[in-house]
Amino acid sequence: MNARGPTPTEGDWRTRLRNDEIARDLWQLLYRYRWRIGLATGFLLLAKVATVVVPLILKRIIDEFSRPEQLPVLPAYLLIGYALVRFSSTLFNELRDLLFSRVSQSTVAIYARKTFAHLHSLGPRFHSQRRIGGLLPDIDRGTAGIAFLLGAGLFTLVPILVEIGMVLAIMLAKYSGWFAGIIAFLFFAYSGFTLYFTARRTIHQRRVNRLDSEAKGKMADSLINADNIKYFTNESLEADRFTGIMAHWTDAAISNQQALFVLHVGQSAIIAVGLGAIMLLAGHEVWQHRMTVGDLVLINAYVLQVCLPLNALGFAYREVKDAWVNVERLFVLLREKPEIAQKPDQPALKIQAGEVVFDHVYFHYVPERPILFDISFRIPAGKTLAVVGGSGSGKSTLARLLLRFYDPIQGRILVDGQDIASVRVDSVRQVIGVVPQDTILFNESIAYNIGYGRNGATLEDIHNVARAAHIHEFIESLPEKYDTLVGERGVKLSGGERQRIAVARAMLKNPPILIFDEATSALDSSSENAIQRELNRLSTNRTTLIIAHRLSTVVGADEIMVLERGRIVERGTHAELLSLRGMYAQLWLLQQRQEKEKVAAEAQNL
């Protein structure tokens, strides 16, 4: 087996966002905090002024002490001033960071929430194609990258340029133009080298990030399916597949480090050449008595002040490019379009009786594989329609269309005469309750999972629906009762217990329309009968769509519809369909025979 295959997210990298799109979004964010950023910038400039003044004071001190016989008194003001200016530089930098912390932290929170909400706005097609383990690192890196870009641009690039500009101005005003020329050459040579080699390294960084997301996605997928892996004793296979991904990641990380080595060594060489040239020139000027020792110390300090920011500039630029890659990935995610386009001025669905109509509906997930063909039916208010058929016949797709997970390719779906495509998506789902085949619970308490059916439900409301779903006594028998945590996806509860919680949750929502999507197909006979009674009670006087595989669960439906390959082939009551002696009758006889054989086998084993 191939240890490494392309992830669903890999193709997204082929379409890059334009840089100006990201810059525009970041600028809008900066504009929101413009006063705080302006004040922080003021403190930044004061800190840089203090930094540049420190060598000037130090030169004056050295020059004064170079002629101790000419000192009338100890220049205490210079010594104290030197200490105060150095302290003020640190103070202003800390005030800057304090002011900007709200900007950076709020930015992370804003984009984390924005991404979280956006992911929930996307449809099932998007989520079915993504690995959650690979998605989360993209979000983490992207939000952190945005905060870094804002801070790096303001507190690294701007102060470096300010500091280098001030140093060049002082050097031009006080010393030979050769000093400023060497510093300017050093700056441009360093910057050009850094830009070129960082651009080359970005290719490796993108590959490292992609493989890191792929590895985390594989790890999450494997852990979620831990039981399946044990069923087939494939632990070593999973380890080998993960090892294959990590081998590619290792190669990419080493290539990235090699590119970083070339970048670091080249930057250091440029700085060393520039520093050597300046110190040789300064030493020659002192030897010729055209400069004092204090001037030599001043020039050395300024060269170091230029070199250190250049190092910081190189580091910042590398980090900015890495952050930009991460932000680019996040913005690609944020540009994903929801499958259901909702206009802001769409009205809410006005529910009256709850009648549901499918009017000549056609649908496919992909054009090459049509699912539904000319489906038309009506569920009168308060009545029950059951849909049966083989796997792949399109039964569950009807529920997804009614919930507006997708819109029909052709045709309409009406609720109380209103086309659900013309109303708000949330207003449609608010009036529909669902009891699915596989109830997935939050890793929270039982009370939380039942109460999820209606925001603001009281504990008494939760107890009442739990009693109605005949699960209250079981919950009360647990040591922590309603505060019992159900585990990841509800694994601490049995299938029947999870289904009863789903029934209680639907009862709490109290919707006029219900969907039972093979709600008992995964249960044993005893649990199925018990849950079926609760479902029958819950559907009383509600418009109900039942998706079923076992025909015994739909005998009492007002109408039964048989689907085959996306088309309606039979419809009627249970008795009417049996009298037709068609597909439904054949399925009924087959399932009855299988049930009898199962009962006989169980009796023989006793």
Q: Let me know: does 544 contact 584? Beta carbons within 8 Å.
A: no
Query: Considering the chain, what percentage of its residues have pLDDT values greater than 90?
Result: 8
CA distance 591 to 345: 50
pLDDT value of residue 290:
75
Q: Kindly report the three-state secondary structure assignment for every residue of 562-584.
A: EEECCEEEEEECHHHHHHHCCHH
Q: What percent of the chain has pLDDT over 70?
A: 82
Q: What is the pLDDT of residue 358?
A: 93
CB atoms within 10 A of CB 67: 9
Helix (H) or strand (E) holding 173: helix 158-174
pLDDT exceeds cutoff 70 at 75? no
Identify which of 116, 110, 511, 122 has the alpha carbon closest to the alpha carbon of residue 342. 122
pLDDT tens digit sequence for 316-370: 766 777 777 778 778 877 777 777 777 778 898 998 888 999 999 999 888 888 8
Mean pLDDT of 25-52: 76
What pLDDT is recorded for position 473? 87
| The pLDDT of residue 224 | 66
pLDDT of residue 584: 87
For 96-125, what is each residue's pLDDT tens digit? 777 777 777 777 788 878 877 877 777 767
Which of 29-33, 111-115, 447-451, 546-550 bottoms out in mean pLDDT, i.e. has the lowest?
29-33
* pLDDT tens digit sequence for 392-416: 888 888 998 998 888 899 999 999 9
> Which value, to the nearest 10 degrees, does the dihedral of the CA atoms of residues 85, 90, 91, 93 take?
120
Lowest mean pLDDT among 46-55, 239-248, 534-543, 557-566: 46-55
Nearest to 354 by CA among 537, 229, 497, 515: 515
Choose the weakest-confidence range: 108-117, 171-180, 266-275, 313-322. 313-322
pLDDT confidence of residue 526: 64
Among 199-213, 287-301, 424-438, 521-535, top mean pLDDT goes to: 424-438
pLDDT-derived band at 6, boundaries 50, 70, 90: very low
Alpha carbons 17 and 46: distance in angstroms, whole number: 37
Average pLDDT over residues 558-573: 90
Q: What is the pLDDT of residues 179-234, one digit of tens each?
A: 778 777 877 888 788 777 777 777 777 788 778 877 877 777 777 667 667 656 67
In one-letter notation, the amino acid at residue 197 is F
Average pLDDT over residues 531-551: 81
Average pLDDT taken over every residue of the chain? 78
Question: Does the reported pTM lie above 0.85?
Answer: no
Please give the Cα distance from 206 to 201 (Å, whole number): 9
Q: Do 297 and 55 meet the contact criterion of CB atoms below 8 Å apart?
A: yes
* pLDDT tens sequence across 121-167: 777 677 666 666 567 777 777 777 777 777 765 666 667 777 777 77
| Residue 459, burial from CB neighbour count under 10 angstroms (0-12, 13-18, 19+) | exposed
Mean pLDDT on 80-85? 76
pLDDT in the model for residue 11: 39
Amino acid 378: pLDDT? 92
β-strand partners of 181: none
H-run or E-run covering 598: helix 583-605
**Is the confidence at residue 1, as pLDDT, over 60?**
no
With 60 as the cut, is the pLDDT of residue 3 above it? no
Domains defined along the chain, listed by start: 16-334 (1.20.1560.10), 356-431+511-605 (3.40.50.300)
* Pairing of β 384-389 and β 356-366: unpaired
Cβ atoms within 10 Å, residue 569: 14
Using CA atoms, how far apart are residues 21 and 541, in angstroms rounded to an integer? 53
